Amino acid sequence: MATPNALGTISHADIQTALTRHHSGDWGDCCADDRQANDDALIQGGRLFSVYHSENESKFWIITEADRSATTVLLPEDY
C-alpha cells in the first residue's frame, strides 16, 4: 500500500527500489536504534521500519506491520 501523498511525490521506480531494499533487510537511513529494532523484529516478530530518500530528495518511510499483513509507503507527514 501507499498513501496518496507518497504516490504523488515519489516515483514508482523509487518506491520499487526502496521496497526491494526493505524486503532484503536494508533499512535505509533509519537510526541505529530502529535498525536494531528491525533486526530483532525479524527474529522475535514486530514492526519493520525503513527510511529512504527519493531521487527528488523527498524523505519517505516504509512500514511493515508486526503481523506482516501490510506494508505501507508513506511520507513522514502522513503518519
> Tens digits of per-residue pLDDT, 22-76?
999 999 999 999 999 999 999 999 999 999 999 999 999 999 999 999 999 999 9
> Hey, is 1 helix, strand or coil?
coil
Mean pLDDT of the chain: 97
Q: What is the pLDDT of residue 59?
A: 98
pTM, full prediction: 0.95
Q: Which residues partner with 34 through β-bridges? A: none
**Domain-by-domain residue ranges, the chain?**
4-78
Burial 57-79 (b: 16+ CB within 10 A, else e): ebebbbbbeeeeeebebbbeeee
> Hey, is 43 helix, strand or coil?
helix
Sheet of strand 59-64: strand arrangement: 48-53, 59-64, 71-74
